[in-house]
Structure 1
Amino acid sequence: MSNSRGEILVTGASSGLGEATALALADAGFTVYAGVRSADGAQRIARRSPAIRPLSLDVTSSESVAAACKEVRERTDGAGLHGVVNNAGICVSAPLECVPLDDLRAELEVNLIGAIAVTQAFLPLLRSQSAATPPGNPAGRIVNISSGIGRVAAPFLGPYAASQFAKEGVSDALRRELAPLSVSVSVVEPGAVMTPIWSKVAEAARHVLDAAPVEVANSYRARFEQFVALNEGRAKASRTRPEDIARAVGHAMTARRPRTRYRVGSDAWGAAVAARLLPDRVLDAVIQRQFAAVSARGDAAVRAVPSGRRQEETR
C-alpha cells in the first residue's frame, strides 16, 4: 500500500542528507523508495518509518539502476513516480596536482553520471503520472542535490566542484528539455552542514598527499591543513541542518510551481551572490584572506601552549 501523496525515489538515503530527506518525505505522506547500497543500510532506514521502502541501488552500476527501476515499476503497478531526488554523492578532496585520476573518475561517476543514469531510467515513470496530475502542476518532479561549491570552487575541492558545477549545468539543460513534458527540475544548493561525508574528506585527502612525491606534498600540506580547519570550523558553526535541506526538497516536491533553485544556508546564498557580483581576482583574494585568518588563529594557539606541551603535540 502507498501513502496517498505518491511515491518518491531518494538516492543515497542511508545517512546524512538522504536519510533526513527520506524521513521528511515519509512524514509528509509520501511512500519513499530509499536507495541504499548495503543490507545494513536497508535494515536501518526501514526501521525509521513504515512509509520507507529500502531499494538496493548503486548509481554507478547500469545493472543496479535497471533492476531498481524494474522493482519500482512493479511495486507501483505502473502508476508511476511522483518524484526523484538525486542525492547520492561522494567528496574527493585533495590538491588537483595529486588527485589520482581514478578518484576523479569516481567523483564524476557518482555525483554526475550516476544522477543522469537514474534520471534517464526513471523518467518514463515520472511522465506516466500526467493523467492524474491537477492542471498547472508538474506531472513529475526531479530534485538534484548540488552544493554551494557548485557556484564557487574552493581550493582542494576541485574534483567535487567539477561534479557540482556540471550538475548545475545539466540541471539547467534538463529543466528546459522537460518543461514541455510537465516534469519540473529543481536544484538544492546546501551550504556547510555537518554530515558523515565530511568526516571522511580530510582522512582520504591526507592519504592522497602521503602517496604523492614528498616535494609535491610539501608544497600543499600546510595550506591543506588550513583548509581542513576552515572546513571543519564552518561545518561545526553552521546553523544549517540536514532537516533544512529536507524541507527544501519537500517544497520542491509539493509546490504548484517549484523553484528552480533552493539555496539553503547563509553561506550558500553568499556563494551565489559572490559568484555573480565579484570579479574573479577579488573572490580569489577573499578566499586567501580566509586561509590567512585560519593560519593566524593556529599560530596564536601554538604560542599560547607552554613550550614543553607544544613539543609533545607536534611530534
Structure 2
Amino acid sequence: MSAGVGQSVVVTGAGRGIGRAITLELAHSGFDVIGTVRSDDDARALRAVVDRSGAAVRTAVLDVADPTSCVRAFTEIAGMTDGGPWAVVNNAGFAQPGAVEDVDDEQVRRQLETNLVAPARIARLVLPTMRARRSGRIVNVSSIAGRVSLPMLGWYCASKRGLESVTDALRMETAPFGVRVCLVEPGSYDTGIWETAAKLLPDERTSAYQEQYAAAEDVLRGSRDLPGPRPVAQAVRRALTARNPQPRYLVGNAARSTAVLDAVAPTAASDWAKQLATGLRQAPPRVSRALARLRGR
C-alpha cells in the first residue's frame, strides 16, 4: 500500500494545540483520522470542532502514559482499521519546567514516560501489522528542544533528545519492512503547552533559582504571542503524503536559525545567549540600553 489520502492515521494528544491542528489538517486532506484524547468529554469536544470545520474524525480514549490504556485503545483502534492503522502521529506530550535539581524523581519519570517511553510503546503495538502489510508511517513530534538544550527546561529537552535518538534507530530498523519513520521538530508555537508548563514550575520559595523562576514564568506565559501551529500540521501532512519522506522536518524559521546558531557558535557564546534569554544572566548595562532602544523603534 503506497502513501496517500484515505488511509487511517492515529493522532495522539489530538484534543488541543498541535494535535488538534494536525487532526484538522489531515481530516481536510482526506485521511481517515482517529484522534486520541484522555476522556469521553474531550472526544466529544474534538468531534464537534472537526464537524464544524466541515470534516470528520473518529476518536479513541487514551492515556499514553498508562500501558494498560495504550493496549486497550490500540486494540479498539485495530478493530476500527482492519487490524491496525496505516500511520501513527505521536504528538501527545508536555513540558516539565524547572532547574534540573528542583525537579523530583516522580516528575522526571512522568516527563520521560509521556514524551519518550510512550511513543516507543505505541510503535511496539502498531509495528507488527505495518510489517505484515509492508507499509506504514510513524511520525514522532519532537521539538527544537530535542537538538538545543535550554536552562530551566533540562528534563523536557532530555525527553525530546531521547525521542530523537529512538526515532533515528527506529527509522533504520523498520525501513527494510516498508515502514517509514519521520521526526518533526517545531520551534515555539501557540499551543497551550507553555502556559501549562508555567503551572508546573517547582516551588521557588525553596529554590536557589528564585529570581530565575520569575523570569522563566514570564517567558512561558508570553507564549500567547506566538504564531499558530498550522505549519507543524502541514509538515506532518508532508511526512505522510511524500513518496520518500524526509527523516526530519525542522519547522519554522526560528527553529532553523536556532539549530544553525547552536551548531556553529562557540559553546560559551551559546550558553551566554541561553542564560540571557531565560533570566539566568543579566546583560551588561550598555547592551541592555541598546536592546531597549531597538525595542523602542
Equivalent residues of 2:94, 2:197 under 8 A apart: no
Could you tell me how far apart the structure 1 residues matched to 2:284 and 2:243 are?
Answer: 44
**SS in structure 1 opposite 2:209?**
helix
Does 2:128 align with 1:124? yes
Equivalent residues of 1:190, 1:245 under 8 A apart: yes
Equivalent residues of 1:92, 1:157 under 8 A apart: yes
Could you tell me how far apart the structure 2 residues matched to 1:195 and 1:149 are?
Answer: 15
1:30 to 1:293, Cα distance in 2 relative to 1, 3 A = farther
1:200 paired residue number = 196
Could you tell me how far apart the structure 2 residues matched to 1:170 and 1:274 are?
Answer: 24
1:267 to 1:228, Cα distance in 2 relative to 1, 3 A = farther
Unaligned runs of 5+ in 1: 131-138, 301-315
Does 2:262 align with 1:275? yes
Question: What amino acid is aligned across from residue 103 of structure 1 in structure 2?
Answer: Q
| Equivalent in 203, 215, 222 of residue 209 of structure 1 | 203
Does 2:167 align with 1:171? yes
Q: CA deviation at 1:4?
A: 6.0
CA RMSD of aligned residues (A): 2.2
Does 2:221 align with 1:228? no
Unaligned runs of 5+ in 2: 293-297
1:84 to 1:95, Cα distance in 2 relative to 1, 3 A = same
Could you tell me how far apart the structure 1 residues matched to 2:87 and 2:147 are?
Answer: 25
Q: CA deviation at 1:293?
A: 5.4
1:55 paired residue number = 60
Does 2:166 align with 1:153? no
Equivalent residues of 1:112, 1:163 under 8 A apart: yes
1:223 to 1:90, Cα distance in 2 relative to 1, 3 A = same
Could you tell me how far apart the structure 1 residues matched to 2:145 and 2:61 are?
Answer: 29
Equivalent residues of 2:150, 2:157 under 8 A apart: yes
2:177 paired residue number = 181
Equivalent residues of 1:148, 1:189 under 8 A apart: yes
Equivalent residues of 1:81, 1:129 under 8 A apart: no
Task: State the number of aligned residues.
Answer: 278
Equivalent residues of 1:8, 1:84 under 8 A apart: yes
Equivalent residues of 2:195, 2:220 under 8 A apart: no
TM normalised by structure 2 equals 0.87
Q: CA deviation at 1:227?
A: 2.5
Could you tell me how far apart the structure 1 residues matched to 2:79 and 2:220 are?
Answer: 44
Give the structure with higher Rg (CA).
1
Q: CA deviation at 1:185?
A: 1.0
Equivalent positions of 1:40-79 (< 5 A) are 40-47=41-48, 48-49=50-51, 51-78=56-83
Equivalent residues of 2:198, 2:220 under 8 A apart: no
